[in-house]
């Protein structure tokens, strides 16, 4: 299923809940701790269908909408564990297989966008950090010297310019749209779990939720204008854009940023080996011997580092043991050492780049 064929937001927020009405509820109810839980196989199917939707790029549409010299853009890529937006929205369906947290989708396209208001909130909060010294230091790194009064004036210019000057000369913040995914099958959504423990030693309660995968590129769009501050200080629209980009790289956006969600990496600084390309061409399973070093492509970071070897005769995708997923990116090309054990089973060990 591709995004052009359906509205994912509609499936998640509306169609998802029609399952109960379509079923004979009495036959599918289980009581747990006094609460009724649905045991409907279609819930699992619907959840799986959501995370298996392929990403149909809408870059052309976005380019057409924002085809104006006044618009300023940059792109950032999500990193592990991914991005969570709209978790405060109600999405309560009592089933162990259902997604329990809400998620935010654009109403028209159904894509998981980052609301412009959320982006604006993160940026504005940065101006409050350390009484403005955080932003002051970032500007200093850009060879822009602004004193405390200048920081306050810049904050007002960006966020509180209502009633001052023309409405057409105020900075504007637009939703950020996903424009690419590094997943080889075009996937961009995944599931994840949080596991609260009423008792610290037993009875964990796994809560399933939907998220944007790592390796998904978002385009951030603004309409910005030059700022002439006190004492001749001038900050151009391009410098504002560079400041916003740095803040988002530092602070992230969305829910659960304190545990790693909502963090980004620069798209421009990706290592060349992370670009999609064929690997291990002409190699078959029979060619492999213990000690051989081959390439592998990282294809998933859920529960470990899952790789694909692209070798004829190896139809499984092994997981590398003892590695932290946060140090890898989906689509990254790495090197692994082959080991054939006494049972003629293949094992692979990551070789760290020197």
Mean pLDDT by 10 residues, the chain (354 residues): 62 65 48 47 63 64 61 91 80 62 82 94 95 94 90 93 72 91 82 77 77 91 89 86 95 89 78 44 80 84 82 80 77 84 81 66
pLDDT of residue 38: 46
Contact between residue 85 and residue 209 where contact means Cβ atoms under 8 Å apart:
no
Could you say which architecture CATH assigns to the domain 272-351? Beta Barrel (2.40)
pLDDT of residue 60: 54
Separation CA 86–CA 15 (nearest Å):
18
pLDDT of residue 272: 31
Q: Residue 265: enclosing H or E segment and its boundaries?
A: strand 264-266
Tell me the sheet residues that pair with 222.
Answer: 72, 173
| DSSP string across 172-218 | EE--BEEEEE--TT-B-EEEEEE---SBTTB----EEEEEEPTTEEE
Residue extents of the structural domains in the chain:
3-40+53-266, 272-351
pLDDT of residue 23: 47
Q: Which residues contact 83 (CB under 8 A, 6 or more apart)?
A: 112, 114, 211, 212, 216, 253, 254, 261, 262
Q: CA-based diameter of the chain, in Å?
A: 77
Contact between residue 209 and residue 83 where contact means Cβ atoms under 8 Å apart:
no
pLDDT of residue 17: 62
Q: Prior bond to 81 cis, omega within 30?
A: yes
Separation CA 312–CA 314 (nearest Å):
6
- DSSP-derived secondary structure letter, 52: T
Tell me the sheet residues that pair with 71.
Answer: 223
pTM across the whole model: 0.66
pLDDT of residue 82: 92
């Amino acid at each position: 299923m591709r995004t052009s064929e359906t509205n994912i937001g509609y499936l998640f927020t509306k169609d998802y809940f029609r399952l109960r009405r379509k079923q004979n509820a009495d036959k599918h109810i289980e009581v747990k701790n006094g609460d009724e839980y649905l045991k409907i196989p279609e819930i699992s199917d619907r959840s799986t269908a959501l995370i298996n939707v392929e990403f149909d790029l809408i870059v052309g549409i976005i380019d057409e909408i924002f085809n104006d010299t006044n618009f300023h853009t940059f792109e950032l890529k999500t990193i592990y564990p991914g991005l969570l937006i709209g978790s405060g929205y109600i999405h309560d369906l009592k089933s162990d297989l259902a997604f329990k947290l809400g998620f935010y989708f654009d109403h028209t396209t159904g894509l998981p966008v980052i609301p412009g208001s959320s982006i604006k909130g993160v940026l504005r909060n940065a101006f409050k950090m350390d009484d403005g010294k955080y932003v002051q230091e970032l500007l200093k790194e850009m060879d822009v010297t602004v004193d405390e009064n200048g920081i306050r004036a810049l904050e007002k210019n960006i966020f509180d310019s209502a009633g001052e000057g023309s409405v057409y000369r105020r900075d504007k913040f637009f939703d950020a749209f996903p424009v690419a995914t590094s997943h080889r099958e075009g996937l961009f959504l995944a599931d994840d779990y949080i596991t609260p423990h009423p008792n610290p030693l037993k009875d964990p309660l796994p809560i399933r939720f939907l998220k944007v995968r790592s390796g998904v590129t978002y385009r951030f769009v603004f309409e910005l204008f030059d700022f002439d501050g006190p004492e001749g200080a001038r900050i151009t629209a391009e410098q504002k854009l560079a400041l916003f980009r740095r803040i988002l790289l530092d602070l992230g956006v969305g829910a659960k940023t304190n545990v790693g969600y909502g963090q980004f990496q620069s798209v421009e600084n990706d290592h060349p080996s992370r670009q999609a390309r064929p690997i291990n061409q002409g190699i078959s399973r029979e060619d492999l011997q213990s000690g051989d070093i081959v390439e592998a492509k990282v294809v998933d970071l859920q529960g470990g580092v899952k790789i694909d070897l692209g070798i004829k005769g190896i139809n499984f995708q092994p997981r590398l043991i003892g590695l932290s997923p946060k140090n890898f990116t989906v689509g990254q090309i790495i090197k692994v050492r082959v080991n054939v054990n006494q049972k003629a089973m293949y094992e692979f060990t990551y070789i760290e780049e020197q």
